[in-house]
Amino acid sequence: MVQEPFCLNGKTGAFIVIVLLAVLTFIVAKPFILTIVSSMVLAYVTHPLYTKLKKLLRSPSLCAAILSVIIVFAILMIVWFLMPIMIRQTFAVYSTLQKVDFAAPFRQLAPKFFTSPEFTRDFTVTINQVIAKGASSIMNRFENVIINLPILFVQFVVMLFVFFFTLRDSEAVVAFFKGLSPLKELSEKRFIQKFNDITKSIVYGMFIIGFLQGVLAGIGFFAFKIPQALFLSIVAILLGIVPYIGTWAVWVPIGIGMIISGNTEAAVAFIGYQLIAAGFIEFFIRPYITKKQAKIPLPNVIIGMLGGAYAFGIIGLVIGPLIIEYFLLFLEFYRTRSLHELFG
């Protein structure tokens, strides 16, 4: 008996080819996935402005180019004015940390705990080692940024490229993803609305949070009579909007300077105020803004944002709550045995 050769039908073969190409595409695009997703989110956020410009200029390419130039100009201004300050502060703080005895404030505030010479020595060595390791870690990351400047430049070019074409061809991009969706039209609209609510609340909330953190930091500068408080407040507001930097880049060096000058009690109070202010806004105000605008339960927002940021970086602040909400939505449909309402 002659065995017939194994062959695939058209649909199965096409599916395998699509999966293989998808895997290869992911491997090729993996270094730029975060950049691509971030660019598309940025294009989505600026799309209302793009739409208004297009009504005036009637040229999609020109409107997308104008917004791209604005973004480039804004980034260059931040780099030009703030990066020299941050570089100087980073190296100044690092060199200072090598000389400061960080156990001294504890000995001054609670001398009863340091009556034993052995305990005092061990505590001093431990605290200073922890601070030194933290400072070295920060410097290593800073050095990695400098070393990887060519890669960052390529990422920046890719970001602009994706941003421009996502804006210019926004209608085609939306139609493409809708064509891939297996959802019914009603469910699709529901998911799109959920994405709109979460993305707007996260992105707009980022500016609100940055502004509030900068204002509270500035209040601390004035309250503790820090020199050039107004200028430092403006810098803190600008840095507060920038992900992964924030106001700490301003007030941490100030606190260290106060410790070095011998004003230990004021330094502890100043740093404590800044930590409480930043923590209150980050862990209470930010989730509240997301909950209110996106209409998502507060625990889902907090877990989604923190877990998403840990797993995916800054873009995780957006997709983290989305993933949790979509999972719960599918779970609810499954519980009520109505998954057929989602898919056609």
Question: Which range, of 22-26, 63-67, 339-343, averages the lowest pLDDT?
Answer: 339-343
pLDDT tens, 62-90? 999 999 998 888 778 767 776 666 666 66
pLDDT attached to residue 65: 92
Q: Distance (Å, rounded) from C-alpha 80 to C-alpha 238? A: 13
End position of a domain, from candidates 173, 201, 231: 173
The percent of residues in the chain predicted with pLDDT above 90, rounded, is 3
pLDDT of 103 strictly over 80: no
pLDDT tens, 203-220? 777 778 888 888 888 898
pLDDT of 110 strictly over 70: no
Q: Within a domain: residue 16?
A: no
Q: Within a domain: residue 140?
A: yes
Who wins on pLDDT, 335 or 73? 73
Q: Which residues contact 278 (CB under 8 A, 6 or more apart)?
A: 213, 216, 217, 246, 247, 248
End position of a domain, from candidates 116, 139, 173: 173
Q: Distance (Å, rounded) from C-alpha 159 to C-alpha 67? A: 13
268 in the same domain as 164: no
Q: Retrieve residue 120's tokens.
A: 């005092």
Residue ranges making up the domain that contains 252? 181-344
End position of a domain, from candidates 173, 189, 212: 173
Q: Retrieve residue 118's tokens.
A: 């052995």
Q: Are the beta carbons of 56 and 98 closer than 8 angstroms?
A: no
Provide the number of structural domains found in the chain. 2
Amino acid of residue 253 = P
Who wins on pLDDT, 234 or 129? 234
248 in the same domain as 298: yes
pLDDT tens, 266-280? 888 888 898 888 888
